[in-house]
Structure 1
Amino acid sequence: MKYILLFAVCSYGIALSYAKGNFYDGFKMYEVSMMNRSAARGLDYSTLSNNNSYYEVFSRNGVAAHILVHPDAQPDFLKLLNANTMNYKIVHNDVGLWLKHDFEMNQKLRNLYPYQGKLGTERYYSHAEINQFIEDLAKQNPTRVEVKTVGKSFEGRWLKTIRITNGDGRANKNVILVDGGFHAREWISPAAVVYGINELVNNYEAHAQLLQDYDWVILPVVNADGYEYTQISPDTRMWRKTRQPSSADCIGIDPNRNFDFHWNETGASSDPCSQTYAGPKAFSEPEAIVVRDLIHSLADRGKMYLTVHSYGNYILYPWGYIDLLPDTWEDLDEVGRAGGDAIKAATGTIYQVGCSTQLMYPAAGASDDYAFNAGFPISFTMELPAGGDNNFDPPPADIDRLVKETWVGIVAMAQKVVEKYPLN
């Protein structure tokens, strides 16, 4: 994965394109082999500096990278690949056309499956619908479910957590804290988190052990503004960041680089137009503040923090800011591998488990490092499998399979945490 980082300079490009109002018609998605490491080294900043307004890189694994390329940059990009003898293929000839089709399909499904008190896996749901769902669960299960408003997004959307218990009224239980939707375009993340909520509440008998000595506190959508923005148009579908203006030309901060633990060091950017812009200061984003406050309010009882992202088939643990393992890495590895092994046994899908910087890339200022440093002994970023032509957009037909598979892994990790960290 480390050689994919040589493309990182390209990630500024699409942010600039968003800011200028360009659309995705004619954009192509290339899959470029990373097997030739000497050639990969040739694709560095100096090579691409004249075209860095026209690319975004989506790293998938250690073998290949998916690169989104503006129509105007495609001839030069092909010359660059050929000059460096890179193997490639075109994954999609017209990303804009596909996104339009994707948008139309989601609109049809929204009309076919309006919210009626339950959230299924037929389609992706809005932030407002998810909030309504957890409110309805609280009304239906007043002894086991509590919904709490924990803050507001930049644009004023209410951020709400759901606390799920077994209803016995015992205080000071251990806690598992879960969140989803840090990055706007990763729709499968809130879908997986909502599926887990439904299982814990409506399939309680199957998960009673997980709630005997543990409460679950879950924030389904962290980046509510960005998530909603991706649903209004095909042209906004690939938005990643928050929606707070970051400069005269660009909007948004990467909320998962905004935490005050080695903030704005490796794997983050000071460029307001970058997809990994860390913000003007740590905790500049109200959404990151909400997660920070949750972490601190629960740290004395918190045993596992899990933030759900996509894509990549990874269960990642600290450290993300430096290529070093924490002293307790064996505990992290044990729990993570329980999840990965359970998923493989159930579906055959293979997850890699390990340190963020070693399996993927540095990402300083991320929430998993912050939670681990704050006192959660187990802290993970779970990157769900890729889907769709753009990898961040599994089609609705795949939601059911992916969220059920994800839940298998989460349950296995939670079971291991309950075993390792019994209630004192």
Structure 2
Amino acid sequence: MCPGVDGNRNYDFFWNTVGTSSNPCSDQYAGGRPFSEVETRAVDGILKEHLNKLAMYITMHSFGSMILYSWGHDGTLSEHAFDLHTVGVKMADVIVKSSLSHFPRYIVGNSALVLNYRASGGSEDYAHSIGVKLAYTFELPGFGRGGNGFILNPRYIKQVSAETWAGVVIGAREAGKLFNARSTQPNFDNTRQD
């Protein structure tokens, strides 16, 4: 039995061009077309409906203890890379302060460079491409190798939830500051020059 479409390869941003598969039995299967899946269409609809109010987008994944940002399809940096990195580090710092001593430290950076592979059609890249300035993929902690790392020991679920939430709270605060600063700046394009 095939696992189905990888939802994080199904978004309409350089869809099915790199780090994906057209084989329906691959775990990197991008689907038959962008937004072929009801879940990705639902996220797209929410993003577009609320785009003018969105300050940050986070997609949660496992595993690896990472906070990743665009551009994952080619490893180049977004024009907002400084803000992405700065806010990402603040979130990671709070998570690390809250985590257990034997948990891996979080790494923050461009997804293609940190993971050392490129992938297209990701939700974080898509959200960023349509105008969400701060768009991230969180790779939550996991222990073990291969598929075992995806299965978190139940005794750590409460811990990982609490520390991740602490990071999200800081991220939301920082995103709010950036969003408010952006929305209060004068619009010089419509200013008359006499």
TM-score (structure 2 length as normaliser): 0.86
1:270 aligns with 2:22: yes
1:302 aligns with 2:60: no
Q: Return 5+ residue gaps in structure 2 as ranges.
A: 185-194
The equivalent residue for 1:405 is: 163
> Is this contact kept in 2: 1:259–1:365, CA < 8 A?
yes
Distance 2:154 2:144 in 1: 10
The equivalent residue for 1:130 is: none
Distance 1:419 1:395 in 2: 36
Q: Higher strand fraction: Structure 1 or Structure 2?
A: 1
The verdict on how the C-alpha distance between 1:313 and 1:251 changes in structure 2, with shifts beyond 3 A counting, is: closer
**Deviation by residue 1:365-424 (Cα, 9 ceiling, x = unmatched):** 011001001110100000000046711111221111111111111112112112222264
Distance 1:272 1:396 in 2: 31
The equivalent residue for 2:86 is: 334
Deviation, structure 1 residue 346: 2.8
The count of corresponding residues between Structure 1 and Structure 2 is 176
Aligned-residue CA RMSD (Å) = 1.5
Distance 2:143 2:55 in 1: 31
In the TM superposition, structure 1's runs of 4+ consecutive aligned residues that sit over 6 Å from their partners are: none
> Is this contact kept in 1: 2:57–2:134, CA < 8 A?
yes
| 3-state SS, counterpart of residue 315 of structure 1 | strand
AA matched with 1:294: I
Distance 1:398 1:343 in 2: 14
Deviation, structure 1 residue 320: 0.8
| 3-state SS, counterpart of residue 299 of structure 1 | helix
Q: Pick the aligned partner of 1:357 from 112, 115, 124.
A: 112
* Structure with max Cα Rg: 1
Deviation, structure 1 residue 251: 5.1
Distance 1:299 1:322 in 2: 25
Distance 1:251 1:331 in 2: 36
> Is this contact kept in 2: 1:388–1:395, CA < 8 A?
no
Q: Return 5+ residue gaps in structure 1 as ranges.
A: 1-18, 20-249
| 3-state SS, counterpart of residue 400 of structure 1 | helix
> Is this contact kept in 2: 1:256–1:365, CA < 8 A?
yes
AA matched with 1:324: T
1:291 aligns with 2:43: yes
**Deviation by residue 1:161-180 (Cα, 9 ceiling, x = unmatched):** xxxxxxxxxxxxxxxxxxxx
> Is this contact kept in 1: 2:3–2:27, CA < 8 A?
no
Q: Pick the aligned partner of 1:374 from 105, 115, 130.
A: 130
State the percentage of identical aligned residues.
39
AA matched with 1:380: Y
1:396 aligns with 2:117: no
TM-score (structure 1 length as normaliser): 0.40
The equivalent residue for 2:187 is: none
AA matched with 2:161: V
The verdict on how the C-alpha distance between 1:383 and 1:251 changes in structure 2, with shifts beyond 3 A counting, is: closer
